[in-house]
Amino acid sequence: MKWTKELDNKLIELINEGKKHIEISNILQTTEKSVSNRCNRLKLKIVTTKEHNCKNCENVFISYIKEERQFCSKSCSVSFSNKNRKLSQETKKKISKTLSNKNRKLSQETKKKISKKLSNKNIKQKLINNKKIVRNCRFCNLPKINKKHKIICEDCRMEYYKFYRPSCEFIFNINKLKYKFDMNLVEKYGWYSPLNKRNNLNGISKDHMYSVRDGFINKIDPKIIKHPANCKLLIHTDNNRKNFNSTISFDELIDRIENW
């Protein structure tokens, strides 16, 4: 099926109505793959939300199309339902009783008991936080891990590339260091994004000038490899052509870090 302007306009209308690709393919009598490819070409995304007016406070809120919400929050829903609700005398008495129990004054003995329980809990929590729990490394199975959220010890991280590589990924916020990089490239080409996301294969990516592979071979600390001084902005295709090669020496990298 050839896509014409009329079909494109019809596709845009259906997308705005919140129709899925399968539903659109049935309406236009084509395949789901053809619809998804055309949506990617036109940069169309399925609309899953819409605006509503709250029935109680009349404020505008956003919810999913399939939801039949009438209120922006639970409190609005409750207050609206309570407006026309008539309570019996028995219900009123029960409510007043529960409120009075909540507001009753505690004796000195009760207060002491509660404070003692809370202090014991805090002491236990402090002991747990201060205690160093040594865990086994998931790879070498030796008790080497003291830090929380760590599953691989530092020895294995340096010994095996599949653990070393993720440790060298850049984690700095480039927006705070714009003056250090050529951001004109980003404005011109945009950031790299794969096909299953924004589909910008010719975008800009962060390159390790002293490569991760050379860092692994020479047993260099990942903190040095992922330092912002080792980063250069490159078009992703050029970055792939560079492969595992380093564009600077280790001494040059150390000089760049010292002068950063």
Q: List pLDDT tens digits, range 222-241.
A: 889 999 999 988 888 888 88
What is the Cα–Cα distance from 96 to 163, expressed in whole angstroms? 62
Say whether both 139 and 171 belong to one domain.
no
Task: Domain count for the chain, please give it.
Answer: 3
Whether the per-residue pLDDT at 129 is higher than 80: the answer is: no
H-helix or E-strand spanning residue 49: strand 49-53
- Binned at pLDDT 50, 70 and 90, residue 148 comes out as low
Rounded Cα distance, 99 and 103, in Å: 6
Residue 177 and residue 144 in one domain: no
Q: Which domain holds residue 133?
A: 113-151
Residue 108 domain-assigned?
Answer: no
Residue 248 lies in a domain: yes
State the pTM of this model: 0.42
User: Which residues face 232 on adjacent strands?
Assistant: 207
- Whether residue 140 has pLDDT greater than 80: no
| 130 & 167 share domain | no
Helix 5-16 with 32-42: angle, nearest 10 deg: 90
Give the other-Cβ count within 10 Å of 4's Cβ.
Answer: 9
Structure tokens at 254: 């150390």
pLDDT digit string, tens, across residues 45-102: 665 566 777 877 777 766 655 566 777 777 788 777 777 677 777 877 877 777 676 6
Partners of 191 in the β-ladder:
204
Token pair recorded at residue 240? 């792939």
Does 75 map to a domain? no
Let me know whether 136 and 170 are in one domain.
no
